[in-house]
Structure 1
Amino acid sequence: MTDLLSQSAAQLRALFRTGAAGPVDLLEATLERIAAVNPTINAIAYLDEDRARAAAQAAARRWSAGAPLSDMDGMAVTVKDSINCVGMPWRHGSAAHADLPDATVDSPPAARLKEAGAVIVGKTTMPDFGMMAAGVSSLYGIVRNPWDPERNTGGSSAGAGAALAAGIGVAAVGTDIAGSVRLPAGHCGVVALKPTQGRIPHLPASTMRSAGPMARTVSDAIDMYRVLSLPDARDAWSLAPESDDRMDRPLTPRGMRIGILTDLGPGFALHPRVEAVVRSAAAVLADGGAEVTDVPAPFDDDPYPALDRVFQVRGRAEWEGIAPDRRHLVIPAVADWAAGAAELSATDYARDLAAVDVSQARFAAALAGFDMVVAPVIPTPGFAADEVGLDPSRPLAHCGYTAWFNQTAQPASSLCFGFVDGCPVGIQIAGRRCADQEVLRLTRWLEERRPFPMPTPPVTLAAGGTR
């Protein structure tokens, strides 16, 4: 039989239509891949085999009758631990939450997937509270990169990135508050979109955090986006449905003004080998007719401390909501960092929010003259699997290139466009607010012109996988 896990969603649909293979076959192959690679990469937090088999069997009957619910019907997918899904545990990456009951309500992303007939295989791992841009958790341990198990996956959608790279699932749902779908995509060589805030509903409603699609190819991410972006009245910020779907139409960058952002001002300096990858994408865009210009550094003074304190307050609030006798179970890298918020007053917090608003306006103004912006995902090629980030005392400190797009609410994708020492290097493609479809279309244009065929990670090859 065809290696189902190397097929795109479009190829799988063709097989489903002819009966050459079906959703049950895809699920069984996915479960076999999990058994083969998860002991190494530690990407899967929870397997829901019984419900997944029932969903796959129902999808198989629909395809046999020629009546699939959607293009995602029968596709094996995963959702992040932070996304409520009926009958599955919600642990938010922390051993302190291990005693919580299973979810009784589907969050919007889970609800949309089920309505579309997707087969939710299970949940993926993440760090405590999602407050770490690395794959280290008090509950799940260390998540490892399929390209090199000694390298980090990034976070906080750590397991989603690792699972996809290893061939587990057609697509995945992650969440992103400071880069948490784009960072793992960059580390693991897959595709992700942090949408315009409100474009993909999620709970609790937030103007900073979004759920986002992740996949191995842009086309598969688009299939997931179409399902996830349907509105949900439970999210107060949920946007009205898009008026048309342009994502299958060819797009060219000819005539676009594209900014290249390789310097934020203060913060971590961009590694030359990462900058070279960003510049290679810029050259491809210029060859395609775009007007490509460097973006001047948006910041003179470091904007990160105020944003970091806002994140600290968020982390501390979750820590204080845990029973006192369980708080010690939270990973120290998060608990100790968030402890700084205990000394802040409400006035301090309001002042920091105001400072973040000022920085957000400066960042938006710096990018306002461009149709699209290309930037790195992280400033370095990567870091060790057991590290919590580039600054051990501030686990989100290296997220400057991603976090400000959450504050401006702009859509931003991640795409592998190079390798350093055998591991992927991701670039971001960011567009104007509500230009999610254009971002995805330009990301696919770049993917089609990537100057190398995407190889298969060593962990996947060891499991007998191909791409």
Structure 2
Amino acid sequence: MIDEILDLPAESVRQAYRGGTLSPVDVLDRTLARIETRNPTINAFAYVDTAGARNAAQASSRRWDSGTPLSPLDGLPVTIKDSVHAVGTPWRHGCAANADLPDSTFDAPPAARLKEAGAVIVGKTTMPDFGMMAAGVSSLYGVTRNPWNPSRNTGGSSAGAGACLASGIGFSAVGSDIAGSVRLPAGHCGLVALKPTQGRIPHTAPSTMRSAGPMGRTVDDVLDMYDVLTGADPRDLWSLPPETTPLAREPLSPIGLRIGLLTTLGTSSGVEDAVSAVLADAAAALADGGADVSVMAPVFADDPYPALDRLFQVRAAAELQSIRADLRELVHPAIRDWCGPGAGLSATDFARDGEAVARSAELMRAACAGFDYVLAPVIPTVGFPAEDCGLDPSQPLGHCGFTAWFNQTAQPAAALCFGFSDGMPVGIQVVGPRFADTEVLRLTKWLEGRRPVAMAWPEPVAAQPPGGN
């Protein structure tokens, strides 16, 4: 059922706040009611912070009444991923072995920035164990389901964030992305998301590979959150200083732009026809808009993924070993089995793999350097079943090739739904040079305005059991 408030554009809600016809408390009440009715189907919440959200909404209502909102996010319900620390809320990293950890005692940079902006954080969203699975499957939370079809996967690791937004819960969300973890759920769930230039959005622990990233139903939603989240934070030594120019929001015209079309990595099994067709539609829209679009040559002659996969294995194995020995069996078996070999790799093995990944990243950077922007798939298929840990359970991140290399090059990359296949969204990726985050979002907004299909957001309906009618 369409809600005349929750399904409005965010700017319409802000206008109602300004005019006094609606308050943040009203919107929170509707959001909590929607969580009650829709979350049982999608299983997207790790924790609902009713008391904290109500306090934030009441404070926001007072600011709007006095004409002193803190930001465009003031009073808007948002969510944060399980992996983002926020005072007084649980941090479980998707894993049943962490179920009894004490609640967080500090706000990670994304949570701190949202609170400073007056956003109403309604809760924390689900993720797979350690964030090391590109699927909505967790030993602690179970299966998170896609609102477009609950028998289908949300992607991961920001699984719950994707499911919440697609089901109309919250106006935007914070996810995090180490190999595609905001872009993949966006691709599966029909959303917009940005993996920023590393350092553009501060996060803890500092990383040159992982970034916090904004997610939303529209590019404007993502721009609103991006504006709040960016800027230096002393706790993240890689964080970048604030951008010196005001945030531009108008669509970026493609006239005269050189666009590379990345249709293959050169070593994978290929992209499904339905995904290729949607990518071709986006390329045609850019060409019709005045861009010079050309297909890129395959980037890799040899498969670069095994070395990257081993780096991920070592990362996950280290986290597994940090868990008390008697609790390790609670970690999802797909993660335990996959990362186990990582514990046996030597320091020199790890160094060699790091060097190999750096060489592959340079190949990708150099391949993109001849273009102003690159257009690519998000995932090579139109999703997979909700209960699956990926396209290949032995490599839970193995289908992330089109996303993961832009974490290694540190380039900003946005995801956008640009079509459907059998009722499921199909996402594309817009990639730009380092530090061109705003321009990437503006070009994504131009494409959003040329999307050949309307976004009629789903009302989640429980999946039928096997053999059901």
TM range (shorter): over 0.9
Deviations along 1:10-37, one digit per CA (max 9) or x if unpaired, are 1111010001111001111110110011
- d(CA) in 1 for partners of 2:457, 2:154: 16
- d(CA) in 1 for partners of 2:226, 2:373: 20
Residue in 2 that maps onto 1:366: 367
Residue in 2 that maps onto 1:299: 300
Contact 2:41 2:461 in 1 (8 A): no
Question: Structure 1 residue 268: deviation in Å?
Answer: 3.1
Contact 2:24 2:76 in 1 (8 A): yes
The DSSP-based 3-state class of the residue aligned with 2:149 is coil
Letter in 1 for 2:69: P
Tell whether 2:161 aligns with 1:160: yes
Distance 1:349 1:461, change over 3 A: closer
Residue in 2 that maps onto 1:227: 228
Contact 1:222 1:247 in 2 (8 A): no
Tell whether 2:219 aligns with 1:218: yes
Map residues 376-395 of structure 1 onto 2, 5 A cutoff: 376-395=377-396
Tell whether 2:90 aligns with 1:105: no
- d(CA) in 2 for partners of 1:169, 1:350: 42
Once the two structures are overlaid, the 10-residue window that deviates more, 428-437 or 227-236, is: 227-236
Tell whether 2:182 aligns with 1:181: yes
Contact 1:77 1:169 in 2 (8 A): yes
Question: Structure 1 residue 7: deviation in Å?
Answer: 1.4
Residue in 2 that maps onto 1:49: 50
Deviations along 1:37-68, one digit per CA (max 9) or x if unpaired, are 10000001101100100100000000000000
Map residues 125-204 of structure 1 onto 2, 5 A cutoff: 125-204=126-205
Contact 1:268 1:398 in 2 (8 A): no
Deviations along 1:130-162, one digit per CA (max 9) or x if unpaired, are 000000000000000000000000000000000
Residue in 1 that maps onto 2:401: 400
Question: Structure 1 residue 461: deviation in Å?
Answer: 12
Contact 1:84 1:103 in 2 (8 A): yes
- d(CA) in 1 for partners of 2:429, 2:246: 22
- d(CA) in 2 for partners of 1:136, 1:2: 29
Normalising by structure 2, what TM-score?
A: 0.97
- d(CA) in 1 for partners of 2:268, 2:105: 43
Contact 2:41 2:462 in 1 (8 A): no
The DSSP-based 3-state class of the residue aligned with 2:46 is strand
Map residues 278-289 of structure 1 onto 2, 5 A cutoff: 278-289=279-290
- d(CA) in 2 for partners of 1:234, 1:261: 36
The DSSP-based 3-state class of the residue aligned with 1:4 is coil
- d(CA) in 2 for partners of 1:374, 1:281: 8
- d(CA) in 2 for partners of 1:318, 1:374: 34
Distance 1:182 1:159, change over 3 A: same
- d(CA) in 1 for partners of 2:31, 2:455: 21
Deviations along 1:94-135, one digit per CA (max 9) or x if unpaired, are 001111100000000000000000000000000000000000
Query: Considering only aligned residues, what root-mean-square deviation do their CA atoms show, in Å?
Result: 1.3
Residue in 1 that maps onto 2:432: 431
Letter in 2 for 1:130: G
Contact 1:214 1:221 in 2 (8 A): yes
Letter in 2 for 1:35: E
Distance 1:398 1:250, change over 3 A: closer
Residue in 2 that maps onto 1:322: 323
Contact 1:148 1:458 in 2 (8 A): no
Question: Structure 1 residue 460: deviation in Å?
Answer: 7.6
Normalising by structure 1, what TM-score?
A: 0.98
Once the two structures are overlaid, the 10-residue window that deviates more, 264-273 or 151-160, is: 264-273
Aligned residues: 462
Letter in 2 for 1:58: A
Question: Structure 1 residue 247: deviation in Å?
Answer: 2.1
Question: Structure 1 residue 451: deviation in Å?
Answer: 0.9
Gaps of 5+ in 1: 463-467
- d(CA) in 1 for partners of 2:329, 2:288: 55
The DSSP-based 3-state class of the residue aligned with 1:354 is helix
- d(CA) in 1 for partners of 2:35, 2:378: 28
Residue in 2 that maps onto 1:261: 262
Contact 2:168 2:457 in 1 (8 A): no
The DSSP-based 3-state class of the residue aligned with 2:156 is coil
- d(CA) in 2 for partners of 1:257, 1:447: 19
Contact 2:251 2:443 in 1 (8 A): no
Question: Structure 1 residue 343: deviation in Å?
Answer: 1.5
Letter in 2 for 1:154: G
Question: Structure 1 residue 210: deviation in Å?
Answer: 0.1
Tell whether 2:32 aligns with 1:31: yes
Letter in 1 for 2:289: G
Gaps of 5+ in 2: 464-469
Distance 1:461 1:39, change over 3 A: closer
Residue in 2 that maps onto 1:465: none
Residue in 1 that maps onto 2:348: 347
Residue in 1 that maps onto 2:454: 453
